[in-house]
A and B are shown apart, each in its own frame.
Chain A
Amino acid sequence: MSDTYEIHGCEEVDTAPAGPLTLPLDQWHRARGGRMVDFAGYWMPVQFEGIIAEHLWTRESAGFFDVSHMGQLYVSGEGAEAALEAALPIDLSTLTLGGPRYSLLLNEDGGILDDLMVTRWSTGFYLVINGATKWDDIATLRERLPDAITLNHLEDSALFALQGPKACEALEPLVTGEQPLSALTFMRGAAFKLGDIDAWISRSGYTGEDGFEISVPAENAAELADLICAQPQVKPIGLGARDSLRLEAGLPLYGHDMTDTVDPVSADLLFGINKRRRSEGGFPGADVIKQLIANGAATRRVGLAIEGRMAAREGAKVLSRDTEVGTVTSGGFSPSLERPIAMAYVPVALAGPGTPLTIDVRGRKLAASVVPMPFVPHRYHRKGAA
């Protein structure tokens, strides 16, 4: 037998001749039985006890994810706000202190170079970018930002995510700050002490669950990982479950569900281009985006529910009445729904919920239909919600 398909992203090996690099928790993962794979140029744990068990644990309790391969950047200097607005389609005038906001790094053709989070700190902006794209992103941003603006790569910081319905009760006793951790609502962040170490914590993540993203000094990463994972609600979770969780949440993954040839309208990510910027423009790709908003895109990212138990994975062709109409960009078995699900790009005319389609998986035709995303409801702790 042989592996013919791999977890999303695992094949994205950095071409750096040194081979995979190690992250601050490398030994920590190995000591806990993490099965390490080369991911985005780093050794990362794909699983600990098993993907399904880890996935379900995160949905029921709290999962600890090391996402230190992601890039953490700090943009500062006089005029940083205007400079960032010229580089990204974000409206920073409505971004208050501490709240991360989703944005997109676009090329001049409106293609997506990366998706990212931007947070206003008191003295500048904190950005979190994808691991596989971070070196290209940094080069792009340096090119777009004037010399007077400083772009720091926070390589001495590790990044964790704690996700799941018990994430708050697990983390709250471990932190102190100007406000209790539970006072943060979805997409709000603040500085805290985690143990006695400085940490930046935001109520955000990429699993569809309530939870937090936690930036800490790399030198304290292992002790803080120990501290968090000593909580009975928490288990370490690998990349495998991270992928199945975000797929169920309908969240697109860069390099798979979005690429530099996919525009934000087709990708259903228009919310990453803030309203004022849509009308005012002034960012790379603005003209193309304006046209797409006015005229509509030809294709759209949709969710597919697949009959039976065989999974359709990235690259599988999508058919309508025996004609190829699209391609699966992410797919797999949903541990929560116990059935295969997928994301695909299809013509807008076939993007309506209930549209019957067929997926060709190695010559076998799987019946599928378009369904609304998320596949599994989000359970974010939104402001104003109970």
Chain B
Amino acid sequence: MTRYFTKDHEWIAVEGSEATVGISDYAQSQLGDITFVELPGEGSEVSKGDSASVVDSVKAASDVYAPVSGKVTVANAALEDQPELVNSDPEGEGWLWKMTLSDTAELDGLMDEAAYQAFVAEL
């Protein structure tokens, strides 16, 4: 499994053509207490760069963009009652949705973990 990151602070963990998407630890720390997550509908098609989800914190509502194009297979139902999982375990239990990739070549423009940490360090 390989994990990639976007400049908009989403992560995507890929295994073949299946992937899990969430927001980075840096992103959750910047947003603060997360109070609500609007998830994409299961079965919906998302295009790279589309707003697929909204993460609401006490201070702001933020769009989460699809890192790549594909079809949403599962949304993380646990977040309905425990949106704070995105704060406590953003790159684990706080995942947002799983999807099937339509074009794995779209991953090429994304950062790996080391590149993302370097990117964040510059912010």
Interface residues of A (CB under 8 A from B): 1-7, 46-47, 50-53, 55, 240, 244, 308-311, 313, 332-333, 335, 340, 361-362, 364
Cα distance A364–B8 in the bound complex, in angstroms = 23
Asked if residues A4 and B33 are in contact (CB atoms below 8 Å), the reply is no
Please encode chain B, from 1 to 44, with 1 for each CB lying within 8 Å of some chain A CB and 0 for all others: 00000001110000000000001000100011101101000000
List A contacts of B36 (CB < 8 A): 308-311, 333, 340
State how many angstroms separate the Cβ of A215 from the closest Cβ of chain B. 28
Is B65 part of the binding interface, using a Cβ–Cβ cutoff of 8 Å?
yes
Asked if residues B32 and A1 are in contact (CB atoms below 8 Å), the reply is no
Cα distance A242–B36 in the bound complex, in angstroms = 21
Stretch of B51-59, B97-105, B111-119 lying at the A interface = B51-59
Additional 20 contacts, C-beta under 8 A, given A1-B55, A311-B35, A335-B58: A1-B8, A1-B9, A1-B10, A1-B27, A2-B62, A3-B60, A5-B61, A6-B60, A46-B59, A50-B33, A51-B33, A51-B59, A308-B36, A311-B36, A311-B61, A333-B36, A333-B58, A335-B33, A340-B36, A362-B54
List A contacts of B70 (CB < 8 A): none
Cα distance A7–B54 in the bound complex, in angstroms = 17
Q: A1-B55, A2-B8, A333-B56 are in contact. Are A51 and B62 (CB under 8 A)?
A: no
Is B64 part of the binding interface, using a Cβ–Cβ cutoff of 8 Å?
yes
List B contacts of A340 (CB < 8 A): 35-36
List A contacts of B61 (CB < 8 A): 4-5, 311, 313, 361-362
State how many angstroms separate the Cβ of A41 from the closest Cβ of chain B. 19
Asked if residues A244 and B58 are in contact (CB atoms below 8 Å), the reply is yes
Cα distance A362–B9 in the bound complex, in angstroms = 21
List A contacts of B50 (CB < 8 A): none
State how many angstroms separate the Cβ of A52 from the closest Cβ of chain B. 4
Q: A7-B59, A240-B59, A311-B56 are in contact. Are A1 and B64 (CB under 8 A)?
A: yes
List B contacts of A52 (CB < 8 A): 33, 58
Residue from B9, B31, B35, B59 whose CB has the most chain A CB atoms within 10 Å:
B59
